[in-house]
Amino acid sequence: MATVYKFGGTSVSSSQAIHRVHEIINLHQQTHKGGLAIVVSAMGSTPEHPKTTDLLLSIVQSATAGDMDHVHRTVEILRSKHLTCITNLLKDPNLVQQLGASIESELQDILAVTKAVQILKSSDDRTRGVVSGYGELWSARILHAYLKQEGYTTAQLIDARDVVTITAPETVDWEASALKLATCSPHRNDQPPPLLVITGFICSTAEGVPTTLGRNGSDYSATIFGRLLHSSSVVIWTDVSGVLSADPRRVPNAVVLPFLSYDEAMELAYFGANVLHPKAMAPATMLPPIPVHIRNTFAPTDPGSCITTRELAESQGRRNRKGGDGGDGGDGENGGDGENDRDLSTFYDCARGFSTVDHMCLINVEGSGMIGVSGFAQRLFTSLHAKDISVTLIAQASSEHSICVAVKCSQENIAIQALQDGFSLELARGQVASVSAVSPCTILAVVGDALRSTTGVAGRFFAALGASKINVLAISQGKWRVVVDGGWWWLVVVGCGWLWLVVVGCGCCCDLRCIVLYRRDLPYLFLPVIARLFVCNCRQFGKKHQRCHFGKRFVQSLKSGPF
């Protein structure tokens, strides 16, 4: 089976960086029998020049503003950046001239596009997609030529636009893409393909129009080709030695997470961990799942991080920490303070990492006229969607008196105006009291699959914030966890084995009896069991489901309550 290597912009930013890429490829070919597919990003930034993709996008922006002098200066920077790299890597003058001529021809095409943009004084996503995709084409051609020079004569260059087909924004047509790949790189399924060099980031629509997978989409390209090639693994080579438990600029003692699940990786990536694009997890999680490794191009011997299934990530995480718990309650002489170490081990077993999103604005819509009104949330999000505003966090009080959302600070004024326009009638009648904002804010995310089943973690989390005199404005938590806003808790208590018990309660107390009393008006609990939904009277719960650990606790609370 083939392995997919993806090299980010920093890994191919210069001729010296590409030399290191060559050494990593050599090591793989010496130690592995399977084929190798290499997905590359555009050349990253250097002390002399910014990122290639940034330069290409700035060309379109400058042309829209009519600043053609800046366009020509940026084109010259791109020309110099790539020709210098080619000259330093390749020994054959004819090959240098050939590659240089192809890049020059495409730079002239870009200039032709910018002239049209200048006349129209506008650009659309299609224009930006076409122009910004040239960087991956150039870096892939340079690496392909260099590898052939260094002895990989059968290396094959694949333009991802000829393979990856999308039917909607960033949605892959797997059947069409697989057929096109078979045409571009014919090989038997039981044999590894030849060495492939593939452009990341770019793709085509079903109509054949060139487009992209979105900014930083080369990670997505890597897992797409991992799925198309039935790869055994995907390795993302970048400038860090794996996924860290926190931002090292803020937490100096942050550690590399050797194993984490796909869900944990997506959460960390979404909330600011820039090691991996969150969309890249989708193809990897399809059956059969493909492990994704994060490695450091500049420290290739570091083990890095492995992103895999939840079961393997949790078992490997516990195995790595086994022995660091201070023994069986000893004095901690050999293993540290036994009880404290056990607590810490338990905490890190469930909380894998912390990440933040800065420069956020928290917008709160509140009013008594919102209570019990159906469709209110729909109207709120429709108003934001009309202005192309993405919501990062949502929290709502159980009384439905208020709802708050987090958006980027740069969109604060647009979002407030959109909501005021959307609820102008309710604001005039006093049904909506206000649309207010607090900024700048930071979203702090605690990520871990086992958070849902580990008691005491939320208490330790809020205790740490309280000890540091940090006030929490709003809290939202993912599936089967906690959502808090305005003093209210929505809890989902997950049962063991095949049974889930769902209850709702208030934030004044975490006692299960109080949770039940709060919902006395609902005599039934809805329990999803296997593939069907059935209703169970709460008084009969203990008789039918005594084998469930959470069920026993629930029944005990009922016996002491005034039911």
pLDDT, tens only, 412-446: 999 999 999 999 999 998 889 999 999 888 888 88
The predicted structure's pLDDT at residue 563: 30
Are 420 and 339 within one domain? no
Residues 103-131, mean pLDDT to the nearest whole number: 93
Flag whether pLDDT at 346 surpasses 70.
no
69 lies in the same domain as 218: yes
| pLDDT at position 446 | 81
Higher-confidence residue of 512 and 6: namely: 6
Has residue 526 got a pLDDT over 70? no
pLDDT at position 76 is 96
Nearest to 79 by CA among 116, 105, 60: 105
Q: Check whether residue 67 and residue 13 sit in a common domain.
A: yes
Secondary structure (DSSP) of 455-472? TTHHHHHHHHHHHTT---
- At 498 the pLDDT is 28
476 pLDDT above the threshold of 90: no
Closest CA to 226 of 200, 263, 204, 261: 200
pLDDT higher at 533 or 344: 344
The model's pTM is: 0.73
Last-in-domain residue among 315, 337, 352: 352
Number of structural domains in the chain? 4
pLDDT the model gives residue 4: 96
* Same domain? 358 vs 343: no
The most confident of the ranges 34-43, 500-509, 547-556 is 34-43
Of 41-50, 76-85, 350-359, the least confident: 350-359
Query: Would you say 5 and 35 are in contact if contact means Cβ atoms under 8 Å apart?
Result: no
Same domain, 12 and 91: yes
Q: For position 84, what pLDDT does the model report?
A: 95
Higher pLDDT, 443 or 222: 222
Lowest-confidence region among 215-229, 468-482, 547-561: 547-561
Q: Are 173 and 166 in contact (CB under 8 A)?
A: yes
Closest by alpha carbon to 230, among 191, 280, 281, 183?
191
Q: What is the pLDDT of residue 188?
A: 53
DSSP, collapsed to helix, strand or coil, labels residue 403 as strand
pLDDT of residue 147: 96
- Residue of 185, 227, 220, 153 whose CA lies nearest to 1: 227
Query: Hey, how many other C-beta atoms are within 10 angstroms of the C-beta on 94?
Result: 8
Would you say residue 327 has pLDDT above 60? Answer: no
At 466 the pLDDT is 84
Structure-block tokens of residue 201: 């980031």
Instruction: Inform me whether the pLDDT recorded for 506 exceeds 80.
Output: no
Average pLDDT over residues 451-471: 78
Reference 495, options 555, 418, 537; nearest CA is: 555
| Percent residues over pLDDT 70 in the chain | 74
Looking at per-residue confidence, does 122 or 250 come out higher? 122
Give the DSSP per-residue string, 13-70: SSHHHHHHHHHHHHHHHHH--S-EEEEE------SSS--HHHHHHHHHHHHHTT-HHH
Residue 342 above 90 pLDDT? no
* Domain C-terminal end among 352, 371, 406: 352
- Residues 46 and 136 placed together within one structural domain of the fold: yes
- The residue among 27 and 537 whose pLDDT is bigger is 27
Domain range holding 520?
A: 491-559
- Confidence band, pLDDT 50/70/90 cuts, at residue 163: very high
119 and 87 assigned to the same domain = yes
Among the three residues 447, 473, 499, which one is the final residue of a domain in this structure?
Answer: 473
pLDDT at 259: 86
Nearest CA to 50 among 80, 86, 18? 80
Most confident of 321-335, 376-390, 450-464, 473-487: 376-390
Residue 208: burial class (beta carbons within 10 Å; 0-12, 13-18, 19+): exposed
Residue 267 in any domain: the answer is no
Does 501 share its domain with 410? no
Q: What is the pLDDT of residue 212?
A: 92
- On whether both 497 and 514 belong to a single domain, the answer is yes
Predicted pLDDT at 176: 95
- The count of other CB atoms within 10 Å of the CB of residue 166 is 19
Mean pLDDT of all residues belonging to the chain: 77
